[in-house]
Amino acid sequence: MYTKQDIIKIVKEQDVQFIRLQFTDIFGQLKNVAITASQIEKALDNKCMLDGSSIEGFTRIEESDMYLYPDPDTFVIFPWRPQTGKVARLICDIYKPDGKPFEGCPRNILKRNLKAAAKLGYTFNVGPELEFFLFHTDEKGKPTTVTHDDAGYFDLAPIDLGESVRRDMCLTLEQMGFEIEASHHEVARGQHEIDFKYAEALKTADNINTFKLVAKTIAQKHGLHATFMPKPIFGINGSGMHTNQSLFKDGKNAFYDPKDSIGLSKTAYSYIAGIMKHIKSMAAISNPLVNSYKRLVPGYEAPVYIAWSASNRSPLIRIPAARGASTRIELRCPDPAANPYFLLSACLTAGLDGIKNKLKVKHSTDKNIFKMTKEERDAAGIENLPHNLINAVRAMQKSDLMKQTLGEYSFNLYTQAKTEEWDNYRTKVHQWEIDEYLVNY
């Protein structure tokens, strides 16, 4: 817990010359404004400004002045920069000139939803599992889709050529305050995963964006490109961001009940029911790209069907085996392209809607859904996730809860931008069409 004076002292004593004031746009893309050390006191007094009209989804040009409000607890020095003339960062909230939180700031939106949960007595904890690919770059330094290894799940060197890259990523993250729980090669060639310890939702959302920055930076130092694109290569697994989540109340895990047959409380069951009720309208947030839906197809371990289970990994929601304080649900559909502030907001409000309305969850599906026939799925009431981005956007546009979650301003901007993204994709002529039709027709 840093104070203003703590940071000023560290900047001076540690020879910090530049501070990057970071924030995100509505797509969760990290942005920053760099200041010199001489401006740190001004920044901590919330007097640094930016032109919001230049940021996607922020504001109109006639009302472009925005203020950066740094969160002192996010101060950290970048380990990979020179140790003389160091570079540090502060994550910021965006405020309007009248001193009110800006409605288009994703971090403000998550803080608002967490405050609503706190009024009900809940603390929201989240642990994400981010997968990513490492690819070679070409002679101009641009990323390719040529993987750097032929390893598979849990393989090790010399087959896993990414082992040293992951090690450097983990060491860097630990220097920045992360607690790394696991690091390993994933199923697909060139695919990797690093898991860090769960935290309260706001810190987790900050950590997700910091993780992406570190992964890309360290990969670049090794001459590689780290991508969090959901499905960069046809025919192999895509990258997910399984999102483990739990609610705590009065210092205890609200999802745990030792008297229940599988150790889940009524709160947990209703939370699951809320997620399942709203998942179609959340999909444009959890899986925000045209490319996201190339991952959500049968046969590649990604969930396609809306179901839950405590015993297998094919449904949308899985209940990991740990109980007691570690009781949690794992939402398996999100991918790492999601805006983490929007994603965690949507998960929380959907789950709380289930709790408030005491929704009843359907029976768990304990056999492999991918091997069930359509008739069997229909009989069990198992529905599909949206098949593509535009279906997800249309479901989101019908959702009063998602509009309330993001606020009308960000909701309208986001759905409009995603509709335009789909139209841009839909009207393009793709290489597959050239290969299939140019000669034959």
pLDDT tens readout for residues 270-294: 999 999 999 999 999 999 999 999 9
Model confidence pLDDT, tens digit, residues 163-195: 888 889 999 999 999 999 888 887 678 889 999
Residue count of the chain, please give it.
441
- To the query of whether residue 186 is one of the catalytic residues in this protein, the response is yes
Catalytic residue among 93, 103, 149, 186: 186
pLDDT at residue number 61: 43
pTM score, whole prediction: 0.93
- To the query of whether residue 129 is one of the catalytic residues in this protein, the response is yes
- To the query of whether residue 13 is one of the catalytic residues in this protein, the response is no
- Distance of alpha carbon 79 from the chain centroid: 23
Nearest to 162, CA basis, from 197, 199, 188? 188
Please tell me what DSSP assigns to residue 382: P
* Contact (Cβ atoms closer than 8 angstroms) between residue 69 and residue 95: yes
- To the query of whether residue 193 is one of the catalytic residues in this protein, the response is yes
Residue written as token pair 């101060």: 75
- To the query of whether residue 112 is one of the catalytic residues in this protein, the response is no
- To the query of whether residue 15 is one of the catalytic residues in this protein, the response is no
Alpha carbon of 168 to those of 53, 142, 194, 214: distances in Å?
37, 22, 12, 10
Catalytic residue among 15, 51, 65, 408: 51
Tens of pLDDT, residue by residue, the chain (441 residues): 889 999 999 999 999 999 999 999 999 999 999 999 999 999 999 999 887 665 665 555 445 688 999 999 999 999 998 778 899 999 999 999 999 999 999 999 999 999 999 999 999 999 999 999 999 988 888 989 888 776 555 455 555 567 888 889 999 999 999 999 888 887 678 889 999 999 999 999 999 999 999 999 999 999 899 999 999 999 888 999 999 999 999 999 999 999 999 999 999 999 999 999 999 999 999 999 999 999 998 777 788 989 998 877 678 999 998 899 999 999 999 999 999 999 999 999 999 999 999 999 988 887 778 778 888 888 888 889 999 999 999 999 999 999 999 999 999 999 999 999 999 999 999 999 999 999 999
- To the query of whether residue 332 is one of the catalytic residues in this protein, the response is yes
Nearest to 292, CA basis, from 393, 217, 220, 383? 393
Catalytic residue among 167, 313, 387, 426: 313
- To the query of whether residue 200 is one of the catalytic residues in this protein, the response is no
Catalytic residue among 193, 206, 257, 335: 193
The three-state secondary structure class of 89 is: strand
* Contact (Cβ atoms closer than 8 angstroms) between residue 401 and residue 278: yes
- To the query of whether residue 313 is one of the catalytic residues in this protein, the response is yes
pLDDT at residue number 158: 53
Q: Around Cβ 346, how many Cβ atoms within 10 Å?
A: 30
Catalytic residue among 257, 332, 335, 353: 332
Q: How many CA atoms lie within 13 A of 262 on its CB side?
A: 16
Model confidence pLDDT, tens digit, residues 396-413: 999 999 999 999 999 999
Mean pLDDT of the residues in the chain: 90
* Contact (Cβ atoms closer than 8 angstroms) between residue 212 and residue 150: no
Catalytic residue among 25, 93, 103, 131: 131
